[in-house]
Amino acid sequence: MSEETQFEDAESYNYSFDKNKLTFKDIILLHLKKIGDYASVEFRGGYWEVRSKVIGGMGIEDKHYIPDTREVYTNSINYLADTLYPYFDEEMKKAFEKAEKETEKAYNDNTVEVEPDREDQNPEEAKKYRKFKNLSDKRSYRSEKTEINRKLFRALCCFLYRRKYLELGSIED
């Protein structure tokens, strides 16, 4: 067997979408491709878009949410980490725990506890509610979280490399 590392081109990889043939490796490679797609666009915050249209002489507003691309990216990395979690080695477990702690710290540094708007809420339940200090803190938290997850993604790629995942075989090997 050759010592040389072999890579499979994700774009030309023959994915078998037959439900009976879809392997765990196929799922991971498809998800890695999706993360690449998410990382290849400009990150921007989410917002509500309102479109006006006229139907039968009446003006109607169509309101829909445009997702925050930073959240899409970070959530996809978290999904990959969750999927691979049972196979983590000690080095990857440490990187994962570090990312979780840094994300929690970023959130705690940028939010404050507030009373909910509901009057019927008891004081103990009210402590569970958190609110961003201001809009710039919300942006700061999401940007910070994106950078933390980018480092987590690098660690996940290193983990897959250590497991020789891009070569023939499976993660269990």
Q: How far apart are CA 134 and CA 119, in angstroms?
A: 23
Q: Is residue 43 part of a domain?
A: yes
Q: What φ, ψ does residue 90 adopt, rounded to 5°? A: -60, -40
Band the pLDDT of 1: cuts 50, 70, 90: very low
Instruction: Identify the domain containing residue 51 by its residue range.
Output: 24-162
Q: What is the pLDDT of residues 10-48, one digit of tens each?
A: 555 555 555 567 888 888 999 999 999 999 999 988 889
Question: Who's near 83: CB < 8 A, 6+ residues apart?
Answer: 27, 28, 31
Nearest Cα residue to 39 out of 13, 93, 83, 75: 75
Tally Cβ neighbours within 10 Å of residue 75.
Answer: 14
Q: How far apart are CA 119 and CA 111, in angstroms?
A: 22
pTM of the entire predicted model: 0.71
Q: Is residue 79 part of a domain?
A: yes
Q: Is residue 2 part of a domain?
A: no
**What's the number of domains the chain is made of?**
1
Q: Is residue 6 part of a domain?
A: no
Q: What is the pLDDT of residues 108-153, one digit of tens each?
A: 888 766 555 655 566 666 556 666 666 666 668 888 999 999 999 9
Q: What is the pLDDT of residues 44-72, one digit of tens each?
A: 888 899 988 888 888 888 889 999 999 99
Tally Cβ neighbours within 10 Å of residue 101.
Answer: 11
